[in-house]
C-alpha cells in the first residue's frame, strides 16, 4: 500500500529530471503517443513537469501532448480493427462480446471521452473501439475532448497560476493525485447512474 502511495512522487521526480533534459519535449511526445497504445505509465506527471519547467509554454505542451496521445489512440484503434476477424473467430458467437460491441457503437463519443479524461486505461478503450469497429469520427472527437480536457486542465492551471503552484504541487502531490482519482471514479459512477 505504501508503495502505491509513494508511486506518484517517484514518477513525478523522475519526470522532473526528464523535463529539464534537452530532449525532454521529444520524450514527452513519444511517451504521450505510445501511452495510448501499450505504455503502462501515465503521461500526466510528465506534462506537469514540463509545464512547471516553463509555465509560459504550458498550453503548447498541453496541445502537443493531446495531439500525440490521440494519434496514438488512432493507431490503437487500427490495431484493434485489424485484429477483429482473428478475435471474433477465436471467441465465436459470444453474446457478451456482441452486447459490448453494440453499446460501444451506440455511445462511441461518451465512451472515448470518459476513457480519455479519467484514469481508465485509454489504450484498452482505443483498441476495443477498433475491435468493435465503431465509427472513426466520433472516436476521434471523443478522444480529443477527453484527452484535451485532461491535458489542458493541467496545462491551464500551471499557465495561469505560474511558479507558485509548483510549491503547492510539491507539498501536496499525493493528496492531489488521490483527489483526482476520487473525482474520476465519482464522475464515472455518476455517468453510469445517469445512463442507467
CA dihedral over 160, 164, 170, 171, signed as positive or negative: negative
Q: Model pTM?
A: 0.74
Backbone angles phi, psi at 161, to 5 degrees: -100, -15
pLDDT in tens, 21-47: 667 788 888 888 998 888 766 777 778
pLDDT in tens, 152-163: 988 998 888 877
The pLDDT value given to residue 86: 58
Cβ atoms of 76 and 123 within 8 Å: the answer is yes
Helix residue ranges per DSSP H, 54-135: 58-91, 95-106, 108-117, 122-131
Checking 84-87 for CB contacts under 8 A at 24+ apart, the result is 84/130, 84/131, 84/133, 87/131
Cβ atoms of 59 and 106 within 8 Å: the answer is no
Amino acid at each position: 500500500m505504501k508503495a502505491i502511495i509513494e508511486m506518484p512522487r517517484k514518477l513525478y521526480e523522475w519526470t522532473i529530471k526528464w523535463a529539464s533534459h534537452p530532449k525532454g519535449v521529444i520524450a514527452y511526445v513519444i511517451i504521450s503517443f505510445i501511452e495510448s497504445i501499450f505504455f503502462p505509465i501515465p503521461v500526466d506527471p510528465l506534462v506537469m513537469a514540463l509545464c512547471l519547467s516553463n509555465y509560459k509554454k504550458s498550453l503548447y505542451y498541453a496541445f502537443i501532448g493531446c495531439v500525440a496521445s490521440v494519434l496514438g489512440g488512432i493507431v490503437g484503434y487500427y490495431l484493434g480493427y485489424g485484429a477483429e476477424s482473428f478475435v471474433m473467430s477465436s471467441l465465436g458467437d459470444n453474446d457478451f462480446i456482441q452486447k459490448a460491441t453494440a453499446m460501444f457503437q451506440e455511445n462511441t463519443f461518451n465512451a472515448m471521452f470518459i476513457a480519455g479524461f479519467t484514469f481508465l486505461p485509454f489504450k484498452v478503450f482505443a483498441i476495443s473501439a477498433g475491435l468493435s469497429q465503431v465509427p472513426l469520427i466520433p472516436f476521434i472527437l471523443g478522444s480529443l475532448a477527453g484527452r484535451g480536457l485532461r491535458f489542458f486542465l493541467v496545462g491551464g492551471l500551471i499557465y495561469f497560476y505560474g511558479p507558485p503552484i509548483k510549491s503547492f504541487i510539491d507539498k501536496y502531490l499525493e493528496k492531489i493525485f488521490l483527489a483526482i482519482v476520487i473525482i474520476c471514479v465519482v464522475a464515472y459512477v455518476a455517468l453510469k447512474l445517469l445512463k442507467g
